[in-house]
Structure 1
Amino acid sequence: MSDFSFVADNAGLADSIASVAQCPVVMLDTEFMRTDTFYPIPALLQLSDGTSHYLIDPLAITDWAPLVALFRNPNVIKVLHSVSEDLEVFQRLLGALPRPLLDTQVGAALAGFGVGLGYQRLLDTLLGIAIDKDETRSNWLQRPLSDAQCQYAVLDVLHLMPAFEVIRDALEEQGRMSWWLEEGDRCIDRAEQQAPLEDYFRKIKSAWRLSPTDQLCLRALCIWRETVAREQDVPRGRIVKDAICIELAKRRPSHPGALSKIKGLTPSVIRRHGETLCDILAVDYRDDGQIPLEFPLNSAQKAKAKALRDAVDGLGDELAVPRELLMSKRDIEDSIRLERLAPGLDGWRSPVLTPILNEVLSVND
């Protein structure tokens, strides 16, 4: 059994933050529920300085100023594992994100321990510790939490400190600690710069297959869907699923009765949103020459993309860094289209990637 303090009032939060605020590094984790909502519902925050461990109850606390101050303290590094969903929780609950940030999943990949390691695998690989995840899908909004839930939650930060230390020591020996910090800053920058509503249609995988005018229609549908999902706090698919948005953009039914011919579009959705959908579909989306999405690479570009992918694979082997962390598939394709490094590949990546990209681009078609 691991000792911890359960924090369930404003005074307790202030005291717990005061106790860790002088430490150079703190561990953080969250538990949340997200079954029927657009936004995650914060259910528990875990905080540790490696010695003292706190389970913080967001259902009971109203004054988050001490934690916000800790998040904004540049002298305290905040360590989490696989941080993307945690950042959504923090943004929703606090309106603040932890900086400077180190993600142990990213750090493990940079240090050569493996890419995309889950927390269980991380602890097994780095520390030889086996933990179970039996409570992952339990009801974290129930009160009181069970002893099993509390023990599960505290282990997420209890073991994070020694895992962090192993990764830190490896990266310092490799001269890559600055890479890890840079990745944390990049992660926070992305989270703070929320994608505009106009870009959400790009997440639909088959959108590029549509004509330019149909893409513009799809973009309008997705802007509406995103707005409604946020306002009603329901998953996007509860409004209209991706595949149905594609069909609507292609077929453009002109009245609510015609919507029933779209496979998967239920009567309840048609009743609630039919007129609005038809209004969106009735707009004249003229092709103004601005193709919203890139077409697939042509044959010459595909050959160069393969050559670049192979070169990055070799570089990854040389550096013991997974290719996915050096350049994603999208990064590779964008770099070939632009004939320069894609946006976001600056910093530590630029000096290692620029020479191999230039070599690939210098080869005649």
Structure 2
Amino acid sequence: MTPESAALPGAMHPTDQSTQGCTANGEMILVVEDDVELLELLGTLLKSAGYQVAMAKDGMTALESVTRGGVQPDLILADFNLPGAINGLQMITQLRMALHRSMPAIILTGDISRLTSRDVAFEHCVQLNKPAKLKEVTFVIASLLAQQRNAKNDSERPGQFAPGIARSSIIFVVDRDDLFRHTIRGVLESHGYAVHDYATSEAFLADYAPGPPACLLIDAHLPGMEGVELLHQLRKNGDDLPAVVISGSNEVSIAVDAMKAGASDFIEKPFGRSEMLQSIARALEHSQDANKKLAWMQEATHCIDSLTLRQRQVMDMVLAGFASKHIAAQLGISQRTVENHRAAVMTRTHSKSIPALARVALAADLRV
């Protein structure tokens, strides 16, 4: 039985998913798995596919192989549940920090809880749930490495996010989840930001005083004073502290309310560190450079002006929270036509999400 056709014991099965167009270029893959039989099978499979392979049975051994042994992986494949003090995801985070680069990573896990998925997504890893399929693993590895080879710039490299601003900026994190705040703090501090975190809006207000360049990263839903209420309070006090609002809800109305309250951006959980860092960097940059903010507003206006009258109507109703079928009924057109207009709006405004669309619309000084 060849490695390509073998089933990984207790964890994986073969599949007919094609890997055509994705070939190995001799990259180094670090495999971390405490099941010795599975570890050896993965190693044999990847070597036969043309990769260099380093293997470890736990997170601490993997860390030592990099920090002391000189292993320089191009990709990490790790089980989530590893023996010892750190799990696979924590090990990946520490390796990326030690190497000062964000190599792609895959987490294998039998734990498909929402919390685990959120953490994996936040660390910008790919999650494959057990039992995974053998060729699925090799296909994902090849695809991630191909993307890495083709990328001109790694958007998560330290220094990519306005390092001059970061060194002098404070990020205020307000979220009720202690673990979430701890994770956010680690990411932000690794990129040069100073971090103050709070569980409630009231605790933040009791401690806050305007001063050095800063950005507020705040959950929309908090006990007591909610995130949008806090923004209204700051603006009422004449404070234009830039803010990024985060939420586990995808309700359009929350995103629009946050933007109207003065938020620079709105991002939904689970989100990757790259998305968060880009939002914070943009908020800080616009607050400190009026020319860049003006250029952004002019670009947003140009995007909105490129829309047809019907596309503007559809956009307004989408941002008001109407579903496509309700928009179709009100405008007297088919739901398919609404979807086509909606897709055109997203394309012309370069928006990948409704919060992003709301940001463009409000930057163009539209009433939504």
> TM-score, length-normalised on structure 2?
0.31
> TM-score, length-normalised on structure 1?
0.31
| Higher helix residue share | 1
| Higher strand residue share | 2
